[in-house]
Amino acid sequence: MTPAPRVLALCGGVGGAKLALGLYRLLGENLTVAVNTGDDFTHLGLRICPDLDTVTYTLAGCVNPATGWGRADDTDHFMTALAQLGGEDWFFLGDRDRELHVERTQRLAAGESLSAVTTAVTGRLGITATIVPMSDTPVPTLVDTNAGVLAFQHYFVRERCRPAVRGLRYQGADTAPPEPRLLAALADPGLTAIVICPSNPWLSVDPLLALPGVRELLRAAPVPVLAVSPIVGGRAIKGPTAKIMAELGLAVSSRTIAAHYGDFLDCLILDRGDADESDAVAALLPRVALADTVMHDEADKIALAREVLAIAGTMKATITATMTR
């Protein structure tokens, strides 16, 4: 019997979580998702991990379907009362969502690691995939803007991405150890593929790539490394990716994504509507592929995941045949 494929996915929040869900539906416990923690911060005394929570809620089937983040059927009594008292209400915390932040904060204060807390939470929610924070050491993303240096959530939520971005810093990334299960997945001899989900490369994936040794391990990986482009038709499907690219002086195209990941990427998957970019991307990478990358519902997520795995399987077979000659 052919062993089930084992896949490592690198992921940010809403956009990446969509593909992570598709992969989870096909792979179950054979999926490891390493999640960006550059967005994490302490607010109202609570430790909040937005990308981890979005991936967790998505795979658990309890994410808010209207927003892609937060919990379904949540209420806002806490935030309403906080606003009446003049408190900071710029970052929304739903009543049911807040319970997770309270539990996490208490356990971290008692000495548990973020990865241990995440494992406990995902187990309670019935998730069989392995979800890991990229590191147990905080690596906050700082955004250099025309309004000064802003903590990520101040830029992203409080200021609603309005300031122009001049650069990004991942504070402490050069000394933050990657989570051991991320390193174990990268070294797993049974690994089939590494998938970069369609998250913002600069905000959601680069913090992870900045950790010691991760980029080098991706370069040396004996399995195909694939990414799904977050750019479709010259626009970002979700979030400020296109805005940031333009402000950094980069062309808003999949070719730019290919160049950004080019030192380790084996294949970039473009939306079928961007087939005219294929030649430009193929000039930079060993392979380019086309798929329906816009995910409106769960069927779309599973269909894209199936295409990603099929492409990876073909590439893995080619790599194996080459190594055994």
pLDDT in tens, the chain (325 residues): 566 789 999 999 999 999 999 999 999 999 999 999 999 999 999 999 999 999 999 999 999 999 999 999 999 999 999 999 999 999 999 999 999 999 999 999 999 999 999 999 999 999 999 999 999 999 999 999 999 999 999 999 999 999 999 999 999 999 999 999 999 999 999 999 999 999 999 999 999 999 999 999 999 999 999 999 999 999 888 789 999 999 999 999 999 999 999 999 999 999 999 999 999 999 999 999 999 999 999 999 999 999 999 999 999 766 655 444 4
What is the β-pairing status of strands 225-228 and 191-196? parallel
Residue 243: Cβ-neighbour burial (10 angstroms; 0-12, 13-18, 19+): middle
Structure-block tokens of residue 314? 């073909």
pLDDT of residue 237: 80
Quote the CA–CA distance of 303 and 198 in Å, as a whole number: 15
Q: Centre a 10 Å sphere on the Cβ of residue 225 and count the other Cβ atoms it contains.
A: 20
Structure-block tokens of residue 154? 């101040």
Structure-block tokens of residue 222? 């004996």
pLDDT of residue 238: 79
pLDDT of residue 318: 66
pLDDT of residue 22: 98
219 Cα distance to chain centroid: 19
CA geometry: angle 207, 210, 213, nearest 5 deg: 135
pLDDT of residue 323: 46
Q: Is the pTM of this model over 0.85?
A: yes
CA geometry: angle 192, 53, 308, nearest 5 deg: 25
As a three-state string, the secondary structure of the chain is CCCCCEEEEEECCHHHHHHHHHHHHHHHHHEEEEECCCCCEEECCEEECHHHHHHHHHHHCCECCCCCCCECCCCCHHHHHHHHCCCCCCCCCCHHHHHHHHHHHHHHHCCCCHHHHHHHHHHHCCCCCEEEECECCCCCEEEEECCEEEEHHHHHHHCCCCCCEEEEEECCHHHCCECHHHHHHHHCCCEEEEEECCCCHHHHHHHHHCCCCHHHHHHHCCCCEEEECCEECCEECCCCHHHHHHHCCCCCCHHHHHHHHCCCCCEEEEEHHHHHHHHHHHCCCCEEEEECCCCCCHHHHHHHHHHHHHHHHHHHHHHHHHHCC
pLDDT of residue 325: 41
57 Cα distance to chain centroid: 14
Q: Which residue has the tokens 């250099």?
A: 144
Structure-block tokens of residue 33? 């998702």
pLDDT of residue 116: 98
Handedness of CA 157, 160, 164, 165 (dihedral sign): positive
pLDDT of residue 239: 85
CA distances from 274 to 222, 235, 236, 245, 293 (A): 29, 11, 13, 18, 10
Q: Residue 186's closest CA among 157, 220, 160?
A: 220
